[in-house]
Amino acid sequence: MLDTIFIITAAIILISAILTITAHNVVHALLYLIVTMLAVSLVFFILGSSFAAALQIIVYAGAIMVLFLFVTMMLHQGEKSLAQERHLFHFSSSITALVLCSMLFFELIYLLFLMPVASNTIFTTALSPIVTVKQIGMQLYGPYSLLVVISALMLLSALITAIHISKNPSTTKIKTQDNDL
Amino acid sequence: MIPISWILFLSLSLFTIGIFGVLARRNLLFILISLELMLNAVVILFIAGSRYHSASIANSDGQIMYLLVLTLAASEIAVGLSLVIHMYRQHHHLDIDKLNTLRD
Amino acid sequence: MSNYSSLLSLVPLLPFFSAVILLFSTLPKLWISILAVGSVASVALISLFFNFIFWQQSDFILTANLGTWIHIDQLTINFGLYLDALSLVMITIISGVGALIHLYSTGFMYEDPSFKRYFIYLNLFVSAMLFLVLADNLLLLYLGWEGVGLCSYLLIGFWYQDRSNNLAANKAFLMTRIGDTAMAIGLFLLFTHLGTLDIQEIQSKAHQTWSLSNNTIASICCLLLLGGAVGKSAQLPLQNWLPDAMAGPTPVSALIHAATMVTAGIYLIARNSQLFQLAPDVLYIIALIGTFTLLLGASAAMVQSDLKRILAYSTISQLGYMFLALGVGAGASAVFHLMTHAFFKALLFLSAGALIYCLHHEHNIFKMGGLFKKLPIVAVSFAIGCSALASLPFTSGFFSKELILEQVVASNHTGLWWAAVLGAFITAFYSARLFFVVFLGKTQSIPDAVPTKAMSLALGILCVFSLVGGIHPEGLKTLMPPLHSNGLSALHHWLPITLPFIAISLAWWMFKTKRFGKPINSTLLQSVHQLLKSGWAFDRLYQTVFVSPFKFLCQLNNRDIIDLFYRLIEKISCALHMVFSHFQNGNLRRYNASLILFCILAFAWYITGELTL
């Protein structure tokens, strides 16, 4: 039963991923991406990581994708953007990428599944017990506390960078002119 | 119980689809979107890895790694989108093929 | 004897040191003249001293060694000097006439800005010539040979700002170079077969190794040495550099192209006379070359209008006489004629120089005339020189030329004798023509300067020598025994003596009837005149045979085939650059694509690696 759900979810992931990257409209692509993320969250649930699944929905699909959408709203110009996008992405211009990616895909499949190796031990492991949120919290406050600090630093630097880059250049210029006078 | 080879296959396919998106699209926003797809593929693998790690001991490393990847994705998106806005303000288009003034 | 050896070793070194000192110092003109003239004059005194002490002896030998030059295995070449009667005559002429010409030059070149450079080259030339005639081995002789060729080039092109002077110097150098190459090959052959380059050893070993019946290699060696002599002494076929070499200053023409350098070929053959005796065919060729050259020179001098060119062709003709004498086996008379020719030709050139100096560089004789009263010293010198050239009785030229003609008779070459007599006739004719046109008749250009004291003094001394210098050195007769003659018939005796007078009367008649210098009416005579004037059209011949095909080949190679190869390398690297610069075109997607591509390649490598394992 879990297998069937998993297969259906996997199919949804793949189909919506393909639809994401071949869309002409940015908003459509973002919506497909959100569907993909929700399906991935479902896969996390199937795998027993409820914490990760919850985070996926809340943070990833809820915050990051919404950020994407805000920026798209700022930059999207309706029909003109659509026409531009059709001009930019054409099936014939992506032949090279298609060839390269399919080659990579087949190579990876061969490496992992079709190589004549004596024993594939990774395919025979059993499941480990499900981890609770409490255990994750204890890990975070214990052995992996440095990771938390580092990720905080990363977010801080991203924040500063984003503020600085997206400042309006006209406001900064006026200050320097005052200094010259 | 799901054989891990299925999850591997799923992750690989999603990753390859993401690479195709990065290579084939010229719009900067779509490249960022494809990047997100690749990150998701990797994250599936992490979580599956921690779940299939050992039969007796519970392992939460995968989800903690997922936390980190999430943070990474967030900061990357923040910076990336601000750069997208900056580029749009300067050039009024988002075509990366026209962004080649760093050549010789 | 060792004092004499050290005195001998000073002989070629003094002018060399003087040249070096002049090169590295800045002195006022007076000191430059004293140093330059003094060095050559001291060499002249040393050679007079040697003449004095060796006066009675006819077979003396004095040697000196300045050091070892090359020492490899069996080959040892020293800077060795060898003085016998032949070299003594040569160094006396070179230093004596050389000193007088140096003295003359201090007056002639006084206003020239490159005064010091002139004397450096001149001293270097005298030093190289002395090395040439004093060398005891052929390699040192060749060194002197090349040295005089170099100095000749430098001095002909002395006024290098004028391009025609440079071209004349190039022509002289290149044509003598052809002869030098032949001579070098001859040296190599001699060394290969005889194992030595010492001149006296060569003479003895040649007689041991080769005999008259087995003389092909000896003939080839002699022919090659003859090639060198022909180049340096301006004989047929390498004679047409000498008239163009008159572009240099006149004292240079006097020293190099009348008295010394052009006599180097004669000296070479005289020095190796015993070697040449093994190849009588080559000797006959020498005689033939001499005869043709003397006719060419004389006939060309007859129709020239440039003063120095007349004297140049006259030099070619007189050198032909010396070659003729060498060819019939009378080396002693050849060297005797060399000596007297040095005197009167130097006199003629220096008087011509005085004339040019006083008339402000006017060279055309038809623009001169009636200068007898205005420039008496020059006129007298010219008269004496021309009469010696025409071999009027009791001048020095008379004794030497009559001796040569006697020796030609004694060798039973009647055809050559008649040619030589014809040449003597033409010689007397053109020397008379020269004198009459320049000094008698109406004055056309007025001289506005007189020769300086230095010039007049040099002229005076040379006049004396041209008159009384007809003394045959005895030592030469011992080294190169003259041919024994069975007495001369009356024709052979009196014809050469009376011919000059006939020629002078003919010239006087033509001058009085004003036939000189007038344009010729008939076209046949005009073409003959043109042919003679250009020296039998040898310049045109060489132009069509050698120069034009060479220029054509160079034109074919205009795009420079060898360079094409290097340009190909350049083009390839440019093409590679074009290819590789596509990897850096700033296109982000292309960078990504290359990333993925190399990922694929890495995986493929891993897979194949795993498979082979």
* pLDDT per position as a tens digit, C389-430: 988 888 888 888 888 888 888 888 888 888 999 999 999 999
From the centroid of its chain, how far is CA C500? 28
Q: How far apart are CA C381 and CA C458, in angstroms?
A: 10
How far lies C381's CA from each of A130, C352, C458, C460, in Å? 134, 10, 10, 7
Name residues whose C-beta falls within 8 Å of residue C263's C-beta, 6 or more positions apart in sequence: C90, C233, C319, C322, C338, C342
Q: What pLDDT does residue A181 have?
A: 43
Does the CB of C602 have a partner CB in chain A at under 8 Å?
A: no
Angle at C588 between CA C584 and CA C590, to 5 degrees: 65
- Parallel/antiparallel/unpaired status of strands C75-83 and C62-72: antiparallel
- Chosen for mutation from A101, A122, A156, A172 (greatest number of chain B CBs closer than 10 Å) is A101
CB < 8 Å to C612, chain A: none
pTM of the model: 0.69
- Give the residue on B whose Cα is nearest the Cα of C578: B104
The per-residue pLDDT for range B29-62, each reduced to its tens digit, is 999 999 999 999 999 999 998 888 877 788 888 9
Q: How far apart are CA C18 and CA C14, in angstroms?
A: 6
Question: Across chain C, what does the average pLDDT equal?
Answer: 86
DSSP string covering B44-63: HHHHHHHHTS-SSS---HHH
Is B74–A158 a contact, with Cβ atoms under 8 angstroms apart? Answer: yes
CB < 8 Å to A97, chain C: 593
Does the CB of B19 have a partner CB in chain A at under 8 Å?
A: yes
Name the residue facing B63 among A21, A51, A67 (closest C-beta): A51
Least Cα distance to C260 among C346, C181, C336, C325 occurs for C346
The per-residue pLDDT for range C545-564, each reduced to its tens digit, is 888 988 888 888 877 778 88
From the centroid of its chain, how far is CA C261? 4
Instruction: Give mean pLDDT, residues C79-98.
Output: 90
Instruction: Give mean pLDDT, residues A149-158.
Output: 95
Indicate the DSSP class of residue C248. S
- How many other CB atoms are there within 10 angstroms of residue C160's CB atom? 12
Q: Is the CB of residue C397 less than 8 Å from the CB of residue C344? A: yes
Least confident interval from A131-135, C148-152, C332-336, C369-373: C369-373
Name the residue facing C586 among B22, B23, B103 (closest C-beta): B103
A6 backbone φψ class: left, alpha, beta (φ>0; ψ -120 to 50): alpha
Q: How far apart are CA C380 and CA B26, in angstroms?
A: 106
The per-residue pLDDT for range B55-82, each reduced to its tens digit, is 778 888 899 999 999 999 999 999 999 9
Task: Examine the pLDDT at C78 and tell me if it is beyond 60.
Answer: yes
With tokens 């040619």, the residue in question is C419
Main-chain dihedrals φ then ψ at residue C75, nearest 5 degrees: -95, 115
CB < 8 Å to C585, chain B: 100, 103
Name residues whose C-beta falls within 8 Å of residue C106's C-beta, 6 or more positions apart in sequence: C33, C36, C37, C454
Main-chain dihedrals φ then ψ at residue C392, nearest 5 degrees: -70, 150
Does the CB of C595 have a partner CB in chain A at under 8 Å?
A: no
Strand (E) or helix (H) holding C72: strand C62-72
Name the residue facing A20 among B10, B33, B59 (closest C-beta): B33
Is B104–C593 a contact, with Cβ atoms under 8 angstroms apart? Answer: no
The per-residue pLDDT for range A71-101, each reduced to its tens digit, is 998 887 767 777 777 777 777 778 888 999 9
Q: Is the CB of residue C108 less than 8 Å from the CB of residue C170? A: no
Q: What pLDDT does residue C227 have?
A: 92
Name the residue facing A104 among C600, C607, C610 (closest C-beta): C600
From the centroid of its chain, how far is CA A27? 16
What is the SS3 assignment for C518? Answer: coil
CB < 8 Å to B5, chain A: 112-113, 123
Q: What pLDDT does residue C608 have?
A: 86
Main-chain dihedrals φ then ψ at residue B80, nearest 5 degrees: -60, -40
Q: What burial class does residue C34 get, using C-beta atoms within 10 Å of its C-beta: 0-12 exposed, 13-18 middle, 19+ buried?
A: middle
Instruction: Give mean pLDDT, residues A25-36.
Output: 93
Where residue A117 falls among pLDDT bands split at 50, 70, 90? Answer: low
- Give the residue on B whose Cα is nearest the Cα of A7: B6
Task: Examine the pLDDT at C129 and tell me if it is beyond 80.
Answer: yes
Q: How far apart are CA C123 and CA C95, in angstroms?
A: 11
- Chosen for mutation from A88, A103, A114 (greatest number of chain C CBs closer than 10 Å) is A103
Q: What pLDDT does residue C460 have?
A: 85
Q: Is the CB of residue B22 less than 8 Å from the CB of residue B34? A: yes
Instruction: Give mean pLDDT, residues C148-176.
Output: 91
What is the SS3 assignment for C76? Answer: strand
Whether the bond between C549 and the residue before it is cis, its omega within 30 degrees of 0, is no
Task: Examine the pLDDT at B104 and tell me if it is beyond 60.
Answer: no
- Give the residue on B whose Cα is nearest the Cα of C592: B23
Q: Is the CB of residue C316 less than 8 Å from the CB of residue C242? A: yes
Name residues whose C-beta falls within 8 Å of residue C54's C-beta, 6 or more positions apart in sequence: C60, C85, C88, C475
CB < 8 Å to B56, chain A: 128-129
Indicate the DSSP class of residue C200. H
Instruction: Give mean pLDDT, residues C334-353.
Output: 90
Provide the residue ranges of all domains of chain B, joining segments of one domain with +: 4-91
Q: How far apart are CA C246 and CA C168, in angstroms?
A: 8
Q: What burial class does residue C460 get, using C-beta atoms within 10 Å of its C-beta: 0-12 exposed, 13-18 middle, 19+ buried?
A: middle
Main-chain dihedrals φ then ψ at residue C62, nearest 5 degrees: -130, 130
Task: Examine the pLDDT at A178 and tell me if it is beyond 60.
Answer: no
Does the CB of C609 have a partner CB in chain B at under 8 Å?
A: no
Q: Is the CB of residue C351 less than 8 Å from the CB of residue C381? A: yes
Where residue C465 falls among pLDDT bands split at 50, 70, 90? Answer: confident
Does the CB of A110 have a partner CB in chain C at under 8 Å?
A: yes
Where residue C448 falls among pLDDT bands split at 50, 70, 90? Answer: confident
CB < 8 Å to A55, chain B: 66-67, 70
Q: How far apart are CA A145 and CA A148, in angstroms?
A: 5
Does the CB of C26 have a partner CB in chain B at under 8 Å?
A: no
- The interface predicted TM-score of the complex, written ipTM, equals 0.91
| C606 to chain B, closest Cα gap in Å | 18
Q: How far apart are CA C499 and CA A73, in angstroms?
A: 126
R_g of chain A computed on alpha carbons: 23
Q: How far apart are CA C122 and CA C16, in angstroms?
A: 10
Main-chain dihedrals φ then ψ at residue A16, nearest 5 degrees: -70, -30
Taking the CA atoms of A58, A63, A64 and A65 in sequence, report the sign of the dihedral they define.
positive
CB < 8 Å to B96, chain C: 587-589
Instruction: Give mean pLDDT, residues C23-35.
Output: 88
Q: What burial class does residue A176 get, using C-beta atoms within 10 Å of its C-beta: 0-12 exposed, 13-18 middle, 19+ buried?
A: exposed
- Chosen for mutation from C588, C592, C594 (greatest number of chain B CBs closer than 10 Å) is C588
Name the residue facing A131 among B14, B63, B75 (closest C-beta): B63
Q: How many residues does chain A have?
A: 181
Is C607–A111 a contact, with Cβ atoms under 8 angstroms apart? Answer: yes
How far lies B69's CA from each of A58, A144, C201, in Å? 15, 14, 102
Does the CB of B96 have a partner CB in chain A at under 8 Å?
A: no
Q: How far apart are CA C144 and CA C131, in angstroms?
A: 5
Task: Examine the pLDDT at C537 and tell me if it is beyond 90.
Answer: no
Instruction: Give mean pLDDT, residues C315-343.
Output: 90
- Chosen for mutation from B2, B56, B95 (greatest number of chain A CBs closer than 10 Å) is B2
Least Cα distance to A101 among B34, B100, B30, C584 occurs for B34
Q: Is the CB of residue C388 less than 8 Å from the CB of residue C340? A: yes
Q: How far apart are the first and last CA of chain A?
A: 76
CB < 8 Å to B82, chain A: 161-162, 165-166
Give long-range contacts, CB 8 A cutoff, 24+ apart: B93-97: B93/A84, B94/A75, B94/B27, B94/B28, B94/B29, B95/A88, B95/B26, B95/B27, B95/B28, B96/B26, B96/B27, B96/B28, B96/B31, B96/C587, B96/C588, B96/C589, B97/B26, B97/C587, B97/C589
- CATH architecture assignment, domain B4-91: Orthogonal Bundle (1.10)
| A104 to chain C, closest Cα gap in Å | 6
Q: What pLDDT does residue C183 have?
A: 94
Q: Is the CB of residue A35 less than 8 Å from the CB of residue A20? A: no
Assigned token pair, B16? 């390859």
Q: How far apart are CA C107 and CA B27, in angstroms?
A: 94
Q: What pLDDT does residue C459 have?
A: 85
Does the CB of A162 have a partner CB in chain C at under 8 Å?
A: no
Assigned token pair, C123? 């001293």
Q: What burial class does residue C612 get, using C-beta atoms within 10 Å of its C-beta: 0-12 exposed, 13-18 middle, 19+ buried?
A: exposed
Q: What pLDDT does residue A18 have?
A: 94
- How many other CB atoms are there within 10 angstroms of residue C441's CB atom? 17
Assigned token pair, C216? 């092909």
Q: What pLDDT does residue A58 have?
A: 95
- Give the residue on A whose Cα is nearest the Cα of B50: A128
Is C589–B26 a contact, with Cβ atoms under 8 angstroms apart? Answer: yes
Where residue C452 falls among pLDDT bands split at 50, 70, 90? Answer: confident
Where residue C1 falls among pLDDT bands split at 50, 70, 90? Answer: low
Q: What pLDDT does residue C363 have?
A: 81
Does the CB of C597 have a partner CB in chain A at under 8 Å?
A: yes
Least Cα distance to C151 among C19, C294, C18, C337 occurs for C19
CB < 8 Å to B104, chain C: 581, 584
DSSP string covering chain A: -HHHHHHHHHHHHHHHHHHHHT-SSHHHHHHHHHHHHHHHHHHHHHTT-HHHHHHIIIIIIIIIHHHHHHHHHHH--THHHHHHHHHH--SGGGHHHHHHHHHHHHHHHIIIIIS--S--GGGGPPPPPPPPHHHHHHHHHTTTHHHHHHHHHHHHHHHHHHHHHTS-HHHHHHHHHHHH-
From the centroid of its chain, how far is CA C45? 25
Q: What burial class does residue C176 get, using C-beta atoms within 10 Å of its C-beta: 0-12 exposed, 13-18 middle, 19+ buried?
A: buried
- How many other CB atoms are there within 10 angstroms of residue C329's CB atom? 23
Does the CB of B1 have a partner CB in chain A at under 8 Å?
A: yes
Pairwise pLDDT comparison (B100 vs C112), residue with the higher score: C112
